[in-house]
Chain A
Amino acid sequence: MTELSSQKDAALAAIAGADTLDALEEQRLAALGKKGWVSLALKTLGQMSPEERQEAAPAIQQVRGAIADAIETRKGELEAAELEAQLARETLDLTLPAPAIPKGSVHPVSQVMDELAEIFADLGFTVATGPEIEDDWHNFTALNMDESHPARAMHDTFYFPDTAADGGEMLLRTHTSPVQIRSMQATAKQHPGGAPMRLIAPGRVYRSDSDATHTPMFHQVEGLVIDRDIHLGHLKWTLETFLKAFFERDDIVLRLRPSYFPFTEPSVEVDVGYSNDQGRRVVGGSGDDAGHDWMELLGSGMVNRRVLEMGGFDPDQWQGFAWGLGVDRLAMLKYGMNDLRAFFDGDPRWLSHYGFGAVDQPTLSAGVGVAP
Chain B
Amino acid sequence: MKFSLTWLKDHLETDASLKEIVDTLNAIGLEVEGVEDPAERLAGFTVAKVLTAAKHPDADKLQVLSVDTGQGDPLQVVCGAPNARAGMKGVLGLPGAVVPSNGMELRKSAIRGVESNGMMCSVRELELGEEHDGIIELPDDAPVGHSFADYHGASPVIDVAITPNRPDCMGVHGIARDLAAAGLGTLKPIAIPQFGQQGPCPVEIRTDDPEGCLAFYGRVIRDVKNGASPDWLQQRLKSAGQRPISLLVDLTNYLMLAYGRPAHAYDLARLNGAVVARRARPGEQVLALNEKTYTLDESMVVIADDTEVHDIAGIMGGEHSGVSDETTDVLLEIAYFDPARIGVTGRKLGLASDARTRFERGVDPAFLQDGLDLLTGLIIELAGGTASEAVQAGSPPSDPKVLCFDPQRTVRLGGVEVPENEQRRILNDLGFEVGEDWQVTCPLRRHDIEGEADLVEEVVRIHGLDKVASVALPRDEGVARPTATFEQALERKLRRAAAAIGLDEAITWSFLPEAEAAQFGTVADFWTLANPISEDMKVMRPSLIPGLLTAAKRAAKRGADASRLFEIGRRYFKGAAGFSDERATLGVLLAGEKFGRSWDPRVNGGRAQMFDAYDAKAIALHLLEAAGAPADRLMVMDPVVDGEGTQFHPGQSATLRLGPKKVLARFGMLHPATLKAFDANGPVAALEIYLDSLPGRKAAKGPVNFARTPYAPPALQSVTRDFAFLVPHDLAAADLVRAVKGADKANIADVRVFDVFQGQGVPEGRKSFAVEITLQPQDKSYKDADLKAISEAIVAAAAKQGAELRG
Residues on A lying within 8 angstroms of B by beta carbon are 96-97, 99-107, 109-110, 114, 117, 120-127, 129, 131-133, 135, 147-151, 153-154, 158-166, 168, 170, 172, 198, 204, 206, 208-210, 216-217, 225, 229-238, 240-241, 255-260, 262, 265-269, 302, 304-306, 319, 343-349, 351-352, 355-359, 361, 364
Binds A, one of B301-309, B502-510, B673-681: B502-510
Of B340, B357, B533, chain A has the most CB atoms within 10 Å of the CB of: B533
In the bound complex, what is the Cα–Cα distance between A102 and B561 (angstroms)?
A: 13
Q: Is A346 a contact of B547 with CB atoms below 8 Å?
A: yes
Interface size class of B (residues with CB under 8 A): 35 or more
Q: Check if B413 is an interface residue, CB within 8 A of chain A.
A: yes
Known: A258-B457, A265-B454. A161 touches B530 (CB 8 A): yes
Q: Is A266 a contact of B453 with CB atoms below 8 Å?
A: yes
Q: Is B533 a contact of A148 with CB atoms below 8 Å?
A: no
- Residues of chain A within 8 A (CB-CB) of B27 are 257-258
B745 to chain A, nearest CB (A): 37
- Residues of chain B within 8 A (CB-CB) of A208 are 531, 533
Q: Check if B136 is an interface residue, CB within 8 A of chain A.
A: no
- Residues of B411-462 at the interface with A, using a CB-CB cut-off of 8 Å, are 411-416, 448, 450-451, 453-454, 456-457, 460-461
Q: Is A96 a contact of B599 with CB atoms below 8 Å?
A: yes
In the bound complex, what is the Cα–Cα distance between A260 and B690 (angstroms)?
A: 41
**10 A-B contacts (beta carbon < 8 Å):** A121-B481, A123-B475, A209-B533, A225-B473, A256-B466, A259-B163, A302-B453, A345-B554, A351-B505, A358-B496
Q: Is B460 a contact of A105 with CB atoms below 8 Å?
A: no
- Residues of chain A within 8 A (CB-CB) of B569 are 204
In the bound complex, what is the Cα–Cα distance between A260 and B163 (angstroms)?
A: 6
Q: Is the interface of B mostly helix, strand, loop or mixed?
A: mixed
A156 to chain B, nearest CB (A): 9
- Residues of chain B within 8 A (CB-CB) of A302 are 413-414, 453
Binds A, one of B69-77, B138-146, B572-580: B572-580
In the bound complex, what is the Cα–Cα distance between A267 and B458 (angstroms)?
A: 11
Q: Is B468 a contact of A233 with CB atoms below 8 Å?
A: yes
Contact of A160 among B347, B457, B528 (CB under 8 A): B528
Contact of B527 among A133, A266, A364 (CB under 8 A): A133
Q: Check if B799 is an interface residue, CB within 8 A of chain A.
A: no
B50 to chain A, nearest CB (A): 45
In the bound complex, what is the Cα–Cα distance between A230 and B511 (angstroms)?
A: 39
Known: A103-B502, A166-B577, A231-B411. A344 touches B563 (CB 8 A): no
- Residues of chain A within 8 A (CB-CB) of B516 are none
Q: Is B510 a contact of A256 with CB atoms below 8 Å?
A: no
In the bound complex, what is the Cα–Cα distance between A110 and B496 (angstroms)?
A: 10
Of A151, A160, A269, A346, chain B has the most CB atoms within 10 Å of the CB of: A346
**With A240-B470, A257-B31, A358-B497 already in contact, 6 other A-B pairs whose C-beta atoms are closer than 8 Å:** A107-B506, A123-B475, A133-B580, A147-B340, A346-B563, A347-B554
B30 to A, closest residue via Cβ: A258
- Residues of chain A within 8 A (CB-CB) of B570 are 132
Q: Is A150 a contact of B343 with CB atoms below 8 Å?
A: yes
In the bound complex, what is the Cα–Cα distance between A210 and B577 (angstroms)?
A: 32
Q: Which A-B residue pairs are the 6 nearest by beta carbons?
A: A346-B551, A102-B502, A258-B29, A233-B415, A260-B163, A266-B457
Q: Is B413 a contact of A266 with CB atoms below 8 Å?
A: yes
B24 to chain A, nearest CB (A): 12
Contact of B465 among A125, A133, A150, A256 (CB under 8 A): A256
Known: A107-B505, A347-B551, A348-B564. A161 touches B528 (CB 8 A): yes
In the bound complex, what is the Cα–Cα distance between A103 and B506 (angstroms)?
A: 14
Q: Is B503 a contact of A160 with CB atoms below 8 Å?
A: no
Q: Check if B548 is an interface residue, CB within 8 A of chain A.
A: yes
Q: Is B484 a contact of A117 with CB atoms below 8 Å?
A: yes
Contact of A237 among B456, B471, B504 (CB under 8 A): B471
In the bound complex, what is the Cα–Cα distance between A148 and B164 (angstroms)?
A: 12
A258 to B, closest residue via Cβ: B29
Q: Is A160 a contact of B529 with CB atoms below 8 Å?
A: yes
In the bound complex, what is the Cα–Cα distance between A265 and B452 (angstroms)?
A: 9
Contact of B504 among A231, A352, A359 (CB under 8 A): A352
Q: Is B531 a contact of A158 with CB atoms below 8 Å?
A: yes
- Residues of chain B within 8 A (CB-CB) of A233 are 415-416, 468-471
Contact of B457 among A110, A123, A161, A267 (CB under 8 A): A267
Q: Is B480 a contact of A122 with CB atoms below 8 Å?
A: yes
- Residues of chain B within 8 A (CB-CB) of A166 are 577-578
Q: Is B469 a contact of A349 with CB atoms below 8 Å?
A: no
- Residues of chain B within 8 A (CB-CB) of A121 are 480-484
- Residues of chain B within 8 A (CB-CB) of A168 are 578
Q: Is B453 a contact of A265 with CB atoms below 8 Å?
A: yes
Q: Check if B582 is an interface residue, CB within 8 A of chain A.
A: yes
Q: Is A154 a contact of B502 with CB atoms below 8 Å?
A: no
In the bound complex, what is the Cα–Cα distance between A150 and B165 (angstroms)?
A: 9
- Residues of B485-502 at the interface with A, using a CB-CB cut-off of 8 Å, are 485, 487-488, 492, 495-502
Q: Is A104 a contact of B560 with CB atoms below 8 Å?
A: no
A269 to chain B, nearest CB (A): 8
- Residues of chain B within 8 A (CB-CB) of A99 are 595, 598, 600, 603
- Residues of chain A within 8 A (CB-CB) of B578 are 162-166, 168, 170
Q: Is B508 a contact of A346 with CB atoms below 8 Å?
A: yes
- Residues of chain B within 8 A (CB-CB) of A236 are 415, 468-471
A144 to B, closest residue via Cβ: B450
In the bound complex, what is the Cα–Cα distance between A209 and B708 (angstroms)?
A: 52
Contact of A153 among B347, B413, B574 (CB under 8 A): B347
Q: Is B473 a contact of A231 with CB atoms below 8 Å?
A: no
